[in-house]
Amino acid sequence: MKSPVLAVRDLSVFLQDGGQPRAVVDTISFELHEGEILALVGESGCGKTKTAEALMGLVPTAAGSIELCGTNLAALPEARLRRVRGRDISMVFQEPLTALDPVFRTGNQIADVFRRHRGLGRAEARRAALEMLQRVGFADAGHVLRSYPHELSGGMRQRVVIAMAMACRPRVLVADEPTTALDVTTQAQVLARLTEMAGEAGTAILLITHDLGIVAHYCDRAAVMRMGRIVEQAGVDQLFAQPQHPYTAALLGAARGNLLS
Amino acid sequence: MNAERRIWGQLRDDPAGLAGLVVVGLFLLVAMAVWLGLIGQDWSAADGARWETPGPDHWFGTNILGQDIFERAIYSVRTAFEIGLVVAVSSTLLGALLGALAGWYSHSWVDGAILWLKGVLDSIPFYLFVAAVAFALQGKGWAMHVAMIATFWTTTGRLVRAEVMKLKTREFVLAARTIGLPDALILGRHVLPNTIHILLVQASIAFVAAIKTEVILSFLGLGVQDGVSWGLMLAESTQEVLAGHFSNFLAASLMLFALLMGFNLLADALQDAFDPKQASQ
Ligand SMILES: Nc1ncnc2c1ncn2[C@@H]1O[C@H](COP(=O)(O)OP(=O)(O)OP(=O)(O)O)[C@@H](O)[C@H]1O
Ligand SMILES: [Mg+2]
């Protein structure tokens, strides 16, 4: 087997919760291979978002390593990390309205990625942003380019965010509940577009979700998280057929219960 | 997108705000005309007799030296705008810069140093501070500007600091970090522009405060050194009013009142129009 694009080993994140520091992410390990989609599932507050933020270097990691193509991000100084962010690893946030600057035209926000990492000039970056918007499926990309976030619908905004995140064809995309804020039809469209683009670029995705339907439909493998720890990791088919951990079984049971009711 | 059109639309339906706009607009035109040398240039020429009553030669009469009070009152509009604008723009920019740094690097030594400076400046009695600065600068005309800018920024700084601390945990700022933008760019392009509502309000408050403070400082002899201002005119008038000559006093205080009134009406109307809660409707 080829070596993984992302190898996370014994990653821990501590947060000050009142007085005592508490491990909200507790010695987790997982690997991500090129083009693979790994689901990270678990109940609210189990540490999924903190894991994502740790991968992006947005919260300090207390222990462990995050190897992206052989480079340990956890040990990189901020200045080096900035060159990796947005180019080799990028992130899609849960709420697309708040993930875009309200007083900035969307086109400029996408163009920023190209100017930063590809060294493009203003006009070239703008052209690249337009092309990116076409690729995420906008027919009238020129109009979206000049729009402010509040002028777009939720699904459109999330596609803008995806255009930003995929602009440099990163090796790894961290998607934190990318479609939770969207209605079901839009959800399917956005996820289909996202996985298609990732497939073309060979981007591996860590897809954070609590929707087991999405896991079954789009993901290759899944990791189940509970109270900061990964309790089980397996191929999706195997996980659904034979959950090993009682918590996974309970999660699946709850999901089936929802479907029946 | 049509923010300008929306704000204009709201202003049009607000008679008080519209009146304020007209008054401030007129004063601004006068200030620019003085600045361009079109009017108010004879403010220092003593070409009349002492204390002439208002008439065709001297519309508002003359002062103790025989100088034309209308000319002096008109020239003072320029003085007021110059002080108001310089202090409002500088103190707001300084407050924005220091507040943003303190908020972005909150609870670090940068934040500590800025808060300490703010605490020191806030605890010195203002007129004592101005007197000290004026003394230190050996009676330079801009000592007053320096003193006001150095003290007026602190409120803006505190408000911007709090806003930036809120903004830096917002997702679009995190998102800007996840695409690899450096801190300075994130602060300048994504954080500060989102504090513009605070900056506009603070700048308008500083504009009014600077003009009022100038009058008091000039009255005390700590303000305008070369030139004329409503404050200097009021200082002159203390002698004259006792002798029954009200021209200086009325001209200076009525024009000051009209400008500040107009500006407050306009600022209130703009604040309503800029209110983000209304903007989303
Ligand atoms: N700033 C903070 N300070 C202290 N504790 C925090 C902070 N932010 C989050 N936490 C705690 O960290 C834990 C993990 O939070 P996280 O946001 O990663 O959960 P999550 O799995 O993403 O949940 P959700 O599904 O609701 O998004 C939670 O128990 C939360 O209470
Ligand atoms: Mg979360």
Q: How far, in Å, from the CA of A176 to the mean position of ligand 2?
A: 7
- Cβ separation A112–B181 shorter than 8 A: yes
Name the closest residue on chain A to residue B189, using Cα atoms. A104
ipTM comes to 0.85
Which is the closest atom of ligand 1 to the Cα of A48? 21
- Prediction pTM value: 0.82
DSSP per residue over chain B, as a string? Answer: --HHHHHHHHHHT-HHHHHHHHHHHHHHHHHHHHHTTSS-TTTT---S-TTPPS-SSSTT-B-TT--BHHHHHHHHHHHHHHHHHHHHHHHHHHHHHHHHHHHHTTTSHHHHHHHHHHHHHHHS-HHHHHHHHHHHTTT-TTHHHHHHHHHHHHHHHHHHHHHHHHHTTSHHHHHHHHTT--HHHIIIIIIGGGGHHHHHHHHHHHHHHHHHHHHHHHHTTSS-SSS--HHHHHHHHHHHHHTT--HHHHHHHHHHHHHHHHHHHHHHHHHHHH-HHHHT-
Residue A114 has pLDDT above 90, yes or no: yes
Q: pLDDT tens, B124-145?
A: 998 888 888 878 887 677 888 9
Q: Where are the domains of chain B?
A: 3-40+77-279
In angstroms, what is the span from residue A21 Cα to ligand 2's centroid? 19
Q: Which fold has domain A6-260?
A: Rossmann fold (3.40.50)
Whole-angstrom distance, CA of residue A144 vs CA of residue A250: 43
Answer whether residue A257 shows pLDDT above 80. Answer: no
What would the CATH number be for the domain defined by B3-40+77-279? 1.10.3720.10
Give percent above pLDDT 70 in chain B: 90
Q: Is the pLDDT of residue A175 over 60?
A: yes
- pLDDT class of B279 with cuts at 50, 70, 90: very low
Residue B140 has a pLDDT of 76
pLDDT digits (tens, 9 = 90+) for B38-73: 877 777 676 766 766 777 776 767 777 777 778 888
**In this model, does residue B281 exceed pLDDT 50?**
no
Tell me which residues of chain A, numbers 47 to 66, contact chain B at a CB-CB cutoff of 8 Å.
53, 56, 58
* pLDDT at position B228 over 80: yes
Q: Give the domain ranges of chain A.
A: 6-260
Q: pLDDT (tens digit, 9 = 90+) per residue, A183-236? A: 888 889 899 999 999 999 999 999 999 888 899 999 999 999 999 999 999 999
Please state which of the ranges A178-182, B145-149, B193-197 shows the lowest mean pLDDT.
Answer: A178-182
Task: Please tell me the predicted confidence (pLDDT) of residue B123.
Answer: 93
Distance from CA of B203 to the nearest CA of A (A): 20
Q: What is the mean pLDDT of chain B?
A: 85
pLDDT single digits (tens) A3-61: 899 999 999 999 887 778 889 999 999 999 999 999 999 989 999 999 999 999 998 88
